Chains A and B, each alone.
Chain A
Amino acid sequence: DTGVSQDPRHKITKRGQNVTFRCDPISEHNRLYWYRQTLGQGPEFLTYFQNEAQLEKSRLLSDRFSAERPKGSFSTLEIQRTEQGDSAMYLCASSLGRGTREQFFGPGTRLTVL
């Protein structure tokens, strides 16, 4: 399968714990996005990488959230000291090239914070 993959697919954690999610984009895609989606809402932008550089980060994102994309390949999203409000589907998407291109989404990681 050459699509975008995410791991894990589901994560249940207790409030206050740290969690880390991984995204493997389509191999030649230089652009990588993280989104958060709650029930009945559209994907909400979190952060954007072009190759290994993090070029954009949502102002809504607290400092408990951090993301990396070492070597411009896979990316990780870490949430520290999770809160119940962090419960959501975390989606990763990748695309190729300059300007805007179609985004290929992964299956997402569903986070439940108890």
Chain B
Amino acid sequence: GQQVMQIPQYQHVQEGEDFTTYCNSSTTLSNIQWYKQRPGGHPVFLIQLVKSGEVKKQKRLTFQFGEAKKNSSLHITATQTTDVGTYFCAGPSYNFNKFYFGSGTKLNVKP
């Protein structure tokens, strides 16, 4: 069945260092969503990418959707302690009735 995988599982960085998480789907996706979950919190939507090769930026966050629409990445420049949390990617099924979430990348930022 359809699967979405994420690496790495954990990332520990010093404040100010960059961070990247990668997402790979077993099937071509119509779009991909990214969510952030703070410790003890619930997932919060960050962005949705739709077009092949699309790149979107939100301040220090850069999101990319691969040309084949099977992979995506999230890059954070100059991490801050407020970036701590787990970042998930999610892709829809062919009929948009379900979403497949990756297992997430847990980011810890040391001040």
Is B92 a contact of A103 with CB atoms below 8 Å? Answer: no
Count chain A residues whose beta carbon lies closer than 8 angstroms to a beta carbon of B. 25
A28 at the binding interface (Cβ < 8 Å): no
Is B99 a contact of A45 with CB atoms below 8 Å? Answer: yes
Number of residue pairs A-B, CB distance < 8 angstroms:
63
**Chain A minimum-CB-distance residue to B102:** A42
User: Interface residues of B toward A: which range?
Assistant: 20 to 34
Interfacial chain B residues near A93, Cβ < 8 Å:
43
- Give Cα distance in the complex from A108 to B40, angstroms: 10
Nearest CB of chain A from residue B47's CB, rounded to whole Å: 9
- Give Cα distance in the complex from A9 to B96, angstroms: 28
Known contacts A40-B103, A100-B96; decide if A108 and B42 are in contact (CB<8 Å): yes
Is B101 a contact of A107 with CB atoms below 8 Å? Answer: no
- Give Cα distance in the complex from A101 to B43, angstroms: 14
Known contacts A43-B88, A44-B101, A45-B99; decide if A107 and B48 are in contact (CB<8 Å): no
Residue positions of A touching B, CB distance < 8 A: 33, 35, 40-45, 48, 50, 55-56, 58, 91, 93, 99-108
